[in-house]
Structure 1
Amino acid sequence: MVNAWPAVVAASAGFVLGAVGSLLTGRLLRQRARIASSWWLGAIITALVLAVLGWRIGPRGELIVYAFVLALGVPLAIIDWVEHRLPRIVVVPQLLGGAVGLGLLCVARADAAPGIRALWAMLAATGFYLLLAVVVEGGVGSGDVGLAAVVGLVTGWSGWAELAGALVLASFVALVLLLVPRKGGGRAAVPFGPCLLTGMAAMLAITG
């Protein structure tokens, strides 16, 4: 297959990046979580995600940007899953790195249109989650708003339909998690970080 070798390269890079990212996960977790901070968990998840993107996207500049964003997304998803928080020390570099990477693609291709659309999509996703933070008191935090900006930027690069699809998928994942009963009765609190990242990764893989 044409994109077999980008998938292999992306998976190999993802394994290394995931193992290194697990060090960040272990440092930022406030509570001891041996499995969550293990090197192999981060390595396997990152390798699988990047392998799929490498296969779907191929040897294009976007793959490097997406790999950077999602390599940082795995520690964020794990931390949010365990402790329901998204550290700004990871979200901010993730957003800035994605913006710089996509900006360089605009310059290299002499085409500013995708970059401008990505910025507008970032603002739209940020505004939407800010509204959710106001309406759903205590359900959406500042970390979720920051991560929504990342999702808007990355998916908006491809188009508005990709942004909408990512947010819809994220909402679907959150709804599924919300319906899962927890021990002692009631419903489990839903961390939005993994939902947003899953929606973004899935939409990037679907659209290629």
Structure 2
Amino acid sequence: MNGWPATIGAAAGLALGAAGSPITKQLSSRPAQIVSSWWFGAIVTSLVLAILAWRLGFKGELVIYAFVVALGVPLSIIDWLEHRLPRIVVVPQLVGAALGLALICVARSDPGPGVRALWTMLVGAGFYLLLAVLVEGGVGSGDVGLAAVVGLVTGWSGWTELAGAVVLASLIALSLLLVPRFRASRAVPFGPCLLAGMTAMIAVAA
């Protein structure tokens, strides 16, 4: 595959990342942090979308993934800084992804991937809801909501992708415990871990 999809994905990522920076500034209590700056979000979004565009090419799914990533980067930054995932962003992210994938199902006259995605969404959210009950204070409602998003998006490709995203997210979370800041508090931001696992599995499955 030539480099045009990756180039266009990178350019779109810069624009979307810059456009999403106000979300971080408005919802974060630490807007002065470097990771809260517009250019940081733009660069991260650009890199992620360049990889996804290179792997997928110009497919309808890429638009959905770009939407999820564009909101996912501010969510990850806020979670990294403050250990919370604002529902005011997670809910539109979930609804938008679901509507987008539903439109693809209608356009292709193939409801199979959409039905599977709904089931994986419920399983992903249910798994993290169980963790929230079992691990008091370790997993919040925002994590459950984001797990639903990850389940929906990865489930579009298959059950294996959902399992891989959860396992990879768990491994990343465990590795973060080696960081002094997180080791001391025993509180790990699951948002960036989930989104990293989702992105990796989408790229691999493409």
TM-score by length of 1: 0.96
Match of residue 156 from structure 2: 157
Report the Cα distance in structure 1 between the residues aligned to 2:31 and 2:93, rounded to whole angstroms: 25
Contact 1:178 1:187 in 2 (8 A): no
Report the Cα distance in structure 2 between the residues aligned to 1:191 and 1:106, rounded to whole angstroms: 33
Unaligned runs of 5+ in 2: none
| RMSD between superposed Cα atoms in Å | 1.3
> Which of 9-18 and 27-36 deviates more?
27-36
> Which of 172-181 and 75-84 deviates more?
172-181
Q: Which amino acid aligns with 1:161?
A: T
Aligned ranges 1:2-21 → 2 under 5 Å: 2-21=1-20
Aligned residues: 206
> Which of 30-39 and 51-60 deviates more?
30-39
In the superposition, relative to structure 1, how do residues 161 and 3 fare at CA in structure 2: closer, same or farther (>3 Å)?
Answer: farther
SS of 2:58's equivalent in the other structure is coil
> Which of 24-33 and 119-128 deviates more?
24-33
Report the Cα distance in structure 1 between the residues aligned to 2:179 and 2:39, rounded to whole angstroms: 27
Aligned ranges 1:124-203 → 2 under 5 Å: 124-182=123-181, 186=184, 188-203=186-201
Report the Cα distance in structure 2 between the residues aligned to 1:25 and 1:61, rounded to whole angstroms: 27
Q: Deviations over 1:94-139 (max 9, x none)?
A: 0001001100000000000000000000000111001000000000
SS of 1:186's equivalent in the other structure is helix
Contact 2:154 2:162 in 1 (8 A): yes
Task: Tell me the CA shift for residue 188 of structure 1.
Answer: 4.7
Structure showing the higher helix proportion among its residues: 2
Q: Which amino acid aligns with 2:148?
A: A
Aligned ranges 1:55-134 → 2 under 5 Å: 55-134=54-133
Report the Cα distance in structure 2 between the residues aligned to 1:71 and 1:205, rounded to whole angstroms: 16
Q: Which amino acid aligns with 1:142?
A: S
TM-score by length of 2: 0.96
Task: Tell me the CA shift for residue 3 of structure 1.
Answer: 4.3
Residue identity over aligned pairs, in percent, reads: 70
> Which of 85-94 and 33-42 deviates more?
33-42
Report the Cα distance in structure 1 between the residues aligned to 2:17 and 2:97, rounded to whole angstroms: 18
Match of residue 29 from structure 1: 28
Unaligned runs of 5+ in 1: none
Q: Deviations over 1:119-171 (max 9, x none)?
A: 00000011100100000000000000000000000000000000000000000
SS of 2:118's equivalent in the other structure is helix
Task: Tell me the CA shift for residue 35 of structure 1.
Answer: 1.0
Q: Which amino acid aligns with 1:15?
A: L
Report the Cα distance in structure 2 between the residues aligned to 1:176 and 1:119, rounded to whole angstroms: 30
Task: Tell me the CA shift for residue 189 of structure 1.
Answer: 1.9
Contact 2:30 2:36 in 1 (8 A): no
Q: Which amino acid aligns with 2:143?
A: D
Q: Hey, which bits of structure 1, 4+ residues long, moved more than 4 A?
A: none
